[in-house]
Amino acid sequence: MKKLMAAALCLLMMAGCSDAYASVTNKNETIFKVGNTTVTRGQLYSYMQAQDGGYTAINTAMESILNAKVEITEEMSANAESTMSMYESLLGESFESYMMSMGYPSLDAFKQDLIMNEQASALTELYIENNFESLCTTYTPRKVKIATFADQESAGKAQAALKDGKDFAEVSETYGNTGSKDSIIYTTQSSYPTAVTYAVSSLTEGMVSDVIANDNQTTFYVVVMEALNPADFKDEAVSAIAGINTIASDAMLKAFAESGFNLYDKNLYDAISKNYPDYIAE
């Protein structure tokens, strides 16, 4: 019984353990002194952490994850160089100072950021490839042509001509299609009126829709369904899904979860919880 009580007491001592705060070595080391005021490494560390709000940790982790999952290709490096050159030609001598004013400690840091963006795009495509079926279920990509008109009469004539089998480009030219003359990949995130989305979801391959009006009857559409099965236009479907604004972040969050991002400092945890809550593993 005594041993049981002793064990319980030991366990109770473990209760109320506080959160961990990671500390720099030599935190009391002086950086500079003015008059009677000394500023130490520890004080500067606390200040910098507060300013950062978790950004550097997330960025460092992101870089590590991207380097592990996506090789930096020559094309990526070339694209980054090209963007650097563009900025340099625009900004001239003030290129470096401009970048520093944007928060980059150096031009190398900016170039590193550009390369990371290239890698992130590749990661997104990889994510889409690996989750193609489920993403197609969510976003239902369809290959369509959509003709757009300002008046119902032109739309009606175009619709009749398309149903008659006339060429889309020719019909566009004849009746004044103000929309794209080429195929587009339509998804649930495409910015067309609801009635167009409904039509896209109900057409079979080769079908031409009726004339579809927007809510205030100022714009008229005719849809031609080209392909229903995303596997038949996979590259285009991947590009279209990659353009959906949440996909890149979904890809990165999945990579974070898979890579094991763990925090051992309460201040950093609080900062990331506040500013980047999605990156904290449950």
Judged by beta carbon, residue 100 or residue 213, the one nearer other proteins is 100
Secondary structure of 118-154 in HEC code, one letter for each residue = HHHHHHHHHHHHHCHHHHHHHHCCEEEEEEEECCHHH
- Of 2-10, 134-142, 168-176, 193-201: span binding other proteins (CB under 8 A): 2-10
Are the CB atoms for 207 and 221 separated by under 8 Å?
no
Nearest to 116 by CA among 156, 83, 70, 179: 70
Judged by beta carbon, residue 144 or residue 255, the one nearer other proteins is 255
Contact string 23-62 vs other proteins (x = CB under 8 A): xxx---xxxxxxxxx-x-x-xxx-xxxxxx---xx--xx-
| Position 68 contacts other proteins (CB under 8 A) | yes
Nearest-approach distance from CB 130 to other proteins, in angstroms = 19
| Position 15 contacts other proteins (CB under 8 A) | yes
Position among 17, 74, 101, 216 found at the interface with other proteins (CB under 8 A): 17
Judged by beta carbon, residue 94 or residue 194, the one nearer other proteins is 94
- Of 5-13, 131-139, 155-163, 190-198: span binding other proteins (CB under 8 A): 5-13
| Position 90 contacts other proteins (CB under 8 A) | no
Residue type, 236: E
> 147 - beta bridge partners?
222
Nearest-approach distance from CB 135 to other proteins, in angstroms = 26
Nearest to 125 by CA among 238, 245, 234: 238
Residue burial 210-238, b: 16+ Cβ < 10 Å; e: rest: ebbbeeeeebbbbbbbbbbebeebeebbb
Instruction: Classify residue 221 by its DSSP letter.
Output: E
Residue type, 85: S
CA 133 from chain centre, in angstroms, equals 19
Q: 237: which 2 tokens?
A: 């479907």
Beta strand spans in 150-192 (E): 184-186
Nearest-approach distance from CB 61 to other proteins, in angstroms = 5
Judged by beta carbon, residue 106 or residue 178, the one nearer other proteins is 106
Q: What are phi and psi of 165, to 5 degrees?
A: 95, 10
Question: What is the Cα–Cα distance from 200 to 210, expressed in whole angstroms?
Answer: 11
Judged by beta carbon, residue 106 or residue 201, the one nearer other proteins is 106
Interface positions, 101-120, toward other proteins (CB under 8 A): 103, 105-106, 109
Judged by beta carbon, residue 97 or residue 137, the one nearer other proteins is 97
Contact string 233-272 vs other proteins (x = CB under 8 A): --------------------------xxxxxxxx-xx---
Binding site for other proteins (CB under 8 A): 1, 4-5, 7-8, 11-12, 14-25, 29-37, 39, 41, 43-45, 47-52, 56-57, 60-61, 64-65, 68, 103, 105-106, 109, 259-266, 268-269
